[in-house]
Chain A
Amino acid sequence: MTKPRQAIKPERVSTALVIEDLACRRGQRLLFEGVCARVEPGGALLLVGPNGTGKSSLLRLLAGLLPAAAGRVDYAGRRAFLGHEVALKPRQTLGGELAHWARLDGGEARLPAALRAMNLEALIDVPCRMLSSGQKRRAGLARVMAAGADLWLLDEPTAGLDTASAALLAHAMAAHRAAGGLVVAAVHGDIGLDGAQTVRLG
């Protein structure tokens, strides 16, 4: 792990994300194969396709949570992952949970801005078990933002979000890309990523 850094902006050493001939096998089933993509710093990649075609698996593969059956992923920078599970302990407060993850990421200085970006400041003293699913989703997004990673891996980031929160997310993703960050998102429909490439699965 890298030592905690105090700077608000991470040092941008962004490199391109290169996906070559990637294949994923779950049990006996081949989910996809021959997936290729190249995302430059500031770029975005949308993973689209019907349910069960491997969008989430591709994201988990990029996050290092699944082994590839073939092909390779080349990316040198740090990654931040938002999955379907929220990873928030029900008895802890939202602020405490996000502070814990920010500490692991060395991103405590970035956390206030991330909370503001997702409009969570009023909720930091609320135990996580009392949050709605949309609020937990926003918390997960704030964790991604506070991580200071160049590559954001978002699994259906707008699921459960109201329109105002979706707009906040679109704004945050645009700011991340403007600063040289990369976004890869599995989506159904538009989430406000302009000029994104698309990988169609299934």
Chain B
Amino acid sequence: MFLALVRRDLLLIARSPALWLPVMFFVLVAAIFPFAVGPDARLLARIAPGIIWVAALLAALLPVETLLAPDVEDGTIDQLISRGIALELVCAARICAHWVGFALPLLAALPVAGVLLGLDADDATRLAIAVLLGTPALASLALVAAALTAGLKGGGALAGLIVLPLALPVLIFGVGSDVAGAFRLLGAASLVALAIGPFAAAAALKPD
């Protein structure tokens, strides 16, 4: 059942016209910084992890309005509940699909962003591992925010306000990934977010 739900969500993501938006957005943000900060390669390389994490966070938030709200509005959630399928399972599947949909393309685009920001190979590799470890937390947070704001007008902006403060631990450990233990803390943050996310999102979606 879980795999069937994930496959369905991935199919819908793959067919959606917005498939390439998060990764394009991510590369564009990385490309804009050298223009905004100036061509100082050393400075760029130093702030590159921060830029990449902020861009990844924004890329995770970009599709937040289409993560759950359409399913609530068009009755898909009702159909799933009436079949006795647990909302927690639906939300967990959606987190997985969202992660595959935004984090994997983003990892693929990371070398491009690394070159644009003048990162050397070692730093780029470490950053890629950090992004791999930290993005599940971002996907989970984005889904909880999507569940909380589904059915609200202009929910996307509100979802951003909800996620940004909660994403701070991931940002801190992600940017500081050259410090010992940062990977573990990043992984821990993701595990906590993945463990809580489906339940929090399902609770927010429960019809009253």
How many residues of B sit at the interface, in one of the four size bands?
20 to 34
CB distance from B58 to the nearest CB of A (A): 25
A83 x B75 contact (CB < 8 A) = yes
Contacts of A86 in B (CB 8 A): 74-75
CB distance from A89 to the nearest CB of B (A): 6
Q: Interface with B: A29-37, A101-109, A172-180, A187-195, which one? A: A101-109
Q: In the complex, A143 Cα to B82 Cα: how many Å?
A: 13
Name B83's contact: one of A83, A84, A88, A104 (CB within 8 Å). A104
Contacts of A100 in B (CB 8 A): 8
In the complex formed, the residue of A with least CB distance to B2 is A1
Q: In the complex, A86 Cα to B74 Cα: how many Å?
A: 6
Q: For the complex, count residues of A whose C-beta is within 8 A of B.
A: 27
Most buried by B among A91, A92, A104, A143: A104
Q: Interface with B: A43-51, A62-70, A111-119, A157-165, which one? A: A62-70
In the complex formed, the residue of B with least CB distance to A103 is B4
- Does A130 sit within 8 A of B, measured CB to CB? no
Name B78's contact: one of A1, A65, A92, A143 (CB within 8 Å). A65
Name A63's contact: one of B73, B74, B78, B208 (CB within 8 Å). B78
Q: In the complex, A87 Cα to B79 Cα: how many Å?
A: 7
CB distance from A57 to the nearest CB of B (A): 11
Q: Within residues 143 to 162 of chain A, which ones have a CB less than 8 A from any CB in chain B?
A: 143, 147, 153
A-B contact number at CB 8 A: 60
B12 x A89 contact (CB < 8 A) = yes
- Does A186 sit within 8 A of B, measured CB to CB? no
A104 x B85 contact (CB < 8 A) = yes
CB distance from B31 to the nearest CB of A (A): 30
A91 x B74 contact (CB < 8 A) = no
CB distance from B57 to the nearest CB of A (A): 28
Name A1's contact: one of B73, B75, B84, B207 (CB within 8 Å). B84
B4 x A104 contact (CB < 8 A) = yes
- Does B153 sit within 8 A of A, measured CB to CB? no
Q: In the complex, A153 Cα to B83 Cα: how many Å?
A: 12
Q: In the complex, A14 Cα to B198 Cα: how many Å?
A: 34
- Does B76 sit within 8 A of A, measured CB to CB? yes
Q: In the complex, A88 Cα to B207 Cα: how many Å?
A: 20
- Does A80 sit within 8 A of B, measured CB to CB? yes
Known: A1-B83, A87-B79, A147-B83. 5 other contacts (CB 8 A): A63-B82, A65-B81, A83-B75, A85-B74, A87-B75
5 interchain pairs, CB-CB under 8 A:
A65-B81, A65-B207, A84-B75, A85-B74, A104-B1
